[in-house]
Amino acid sequence: MINSYSRLAPAIRQGKLLVQRGTFTERYLVRPISSSQTQFEKHDCKVLVVGGGSGGCALAAKLSSRLGRGKVIVLEPEERHYYQPMFTLIGGGMKRLEQSYRLMADVLPKKAKWLQEKAVEFDPDNNTVRTSAGNTVKYDMLLIATGLQLNFNKIPGLEEALAVPNGKVCSIYSPKYVDRVFNCLRNTNEGNAIFTFPLSSIKCAGAPQKIAYIAEHYFRKTGKRDKINITYNTALPVLFGVKHYADALWPIMKKRNITVNTCRNLIEVKHEQDVAIFENVNKPGQYFEEKYSMLHAVPPQSAPDELTRCKQLVDEAGYVDVDKSTLQHTRYKNVFAIGDSSSTPNSKTAAAAAAQSPVVFRNMIAAMEGKPLKDVYDGYASCPLVTGYHTCMLAEFDYSLTPLETFPVAQNKERYSMFYMKKDLMPLLYWKLMLPGYWNGPALMRNILSVFKSKQK
């Protein structure tokens, strides 16, 4: 034991330990042994980025490249960075979970300092954030990129149902549960397959119906479709928030014989009886009990509790209160937000974070230099609506819910080309261009291709 410790001691003193596991080399942060259990660290930085997801990683890369080594700290507790748009394809058996992630140490920029800790207390009046390890980070500028919190526990019985081995309840919304989805598809041979959309803002508002389309196609491919009723219960009053695409999706639902119930919110799961209970959003107190052979549940989502507790930073709904154009906080001029945890009224997608990234970057630099903020975010978001094993409809739109399409073809139609882009090209773009800070969304490409659009008119 003494000899083993001697070999590890240099790594422990440096606060790092490399452990070979399978085909991956994973980095674990090890705290040096201290005689005091209450000795905390204080960190200072030019910019503190809270969150190492899509927006946080991209902005950390841009800012650390501009400001130099050691000027940016990223506060992120997770060991793995997941490409969450792949979860829908994993649910359909088209991708594997191990293809959806990279080690956080490999995607965060080398010029930034990574603290593998969680932000637990924000103090914007004193420009500090306290971490889960009891440490304090003092910043000149703060970028909040925490993403959304999955609240499976808000639906009674749902977590218990998801814990049943080889059970009938599943969800693509977490790496913990996503592999259950394809197992459910394979195990469902008859009865009711129910898919839900919750009464809250969520990551990628198209995903709950994407997995319904994929499931329907899978049941057809495997010869089980005639014995399975498929229902899509959404708490929203519409099928999709942008009418241009909703008008194209309704005929698909009808053609595939998928029953759509709007304004119907999942409020409880009784897995012992295989029963899901829904409430009429427009008539509180009116309930529907539905028997299921398979239930795909989407949890309600919110900004993280640690963030919503800081009332100075968030609006009444609990999201970071920023100007929707500049993404600067409405009260604290040295605070910005990117991605899902901000109050901007756009669809919460990775594509939106990509489009926000150049605006946030240039406005943060302008704020540091005491210059006016000139860059504006137009609310761009994109949702590749996968409708089966080889088709996809690429929805793109802005704050006004007006289509803002990139390609010189009708994008409200199912196309194999869009499916191929979603399945094979977008992951490469994400890992190779977006996270390193090079991809700013398709605006430039849209401007170039607009020449072809004008010729078609």
**Domain ranges (residues) in the chain:** 1-39, 42-149+303-368, 150-301, 381-456
Q: The domain 42-149+303-368: what is its CATH number?
A: 3.50.50.60
Q: Which pLDDT score is estimated for 392?
A: 98
pLDDT on residue 31: 41
Dist CA 203 CA 391 (whole Å): 21
- Encoding tokens for residue 172? 């693509």
CA–CA distance, 362 with 232 (Å, rounded to integer): 42
pLDDT attached to residue 21: 36
Count of other CB atoms within 10 angstroms of residue 56: 26
State yes or no: is 204 an active-site residue. Answer: yes
User: Is position 263 annotated as part of the catalytic site?
Assistant: no
Q: Are 154 and 173 in contact (CB under 8 A)?
A: no
From the list 390, 436, 438, the residue with the least C-alpha distance to 415 is 390
Structure tokens belonging to residue 180: 């259950």
Determine how many CB atoms are found less than 10 A away from the CB of residue 273.
10
CA pair distance 364, 139, nearest whole angstrom: 13
pLDDT 10s digit of each residue in the chain, 457 long?
334 333 333 343 344 444 333 333 333 344 443 333 456 889 999 999 999 999 999 999 999 999 999 999 999 999 999 999 999 999 999 999 999 999 999 999 999 999 999 999 999 999 999 999 999 999 999 999 999 999 999 999 999 999 999 999 999 999 999 999 999 999 999 999 999 999 999 999 999 999 999 999 999 999 999 999 999 999 999 999 999 999 999 999 999 999 999 999 999 999 999 999 999 999 999 999 999 999 999 999 999 999 999 999 999 999 999 999 999 999 999 999 999 999 999 999 999 999 999 999 999 999 999 999 999 999 999 999 999 999 999 999 999 999 999 999 999 999 999 999 999 999 999 999 999 999 999 988 888 887 665 555 5
In whole angstroms, what is the distance from residue 12 CA to residue 22 CA? Answer: 22
Residues 6+ apart with CB under 8 A from 54: 339, 350, 353, 354, 430, 434, 435
Cβ within 8 Å of residue 307, ≥6 positions away: 119, 122, 144, 146, 313, 314, 318, 320, 341
Instruction: Please name the residues in contact with 438: beta carbons below 8 A apart, sequence gap of 6 or more.
Output: none
> What is the CA 296 to chain-centroid distance, rounded?
18
Which among 170, 204, 310, 392 is annotated as catalytic? 204
In sequence order, what DSSP letters do the residues of 219-237 get, joined into one string?
HHHTT-GGGEEEEEEESSS
Token reading at 80: 């793995």
Calculate the CA 326 to chain-centre distance. Answer: 21
Q: Tell me, what amino acid is at 214?
A: I
Structure tokens at 327: 């993404």
Return the number of other C-beta atoms located less than 10 Å from residue 286's C-beta. 11
pTM for the model: 0.89
d(CA 146, CA 161): 27
Q: Are 118 and 132 in contact (CB under 8 A)?
A: yes
Residue 67 host element (H or E):
helix 54-67
For the chain, first and last CA: distance in Å? 77
What is the spatial distance between Cα 32 and Cα 378, in angstroms, rounded to a whole number?
A: 47
In the three-class reduction of DSSP (H, G, I as helix; E, B as strand; rest coil), residue 292 is classed as coil
pLDDT at residue 456 in the model? 54
Q: Which of 57, 170, 184, 383 is catalytic?
A: 383
Q: Look up the CATH architecture of domain 150-301.
A: 3-Layer(bba) Sandwich (3.50)
What DSSP state is assigned to residue 32? P
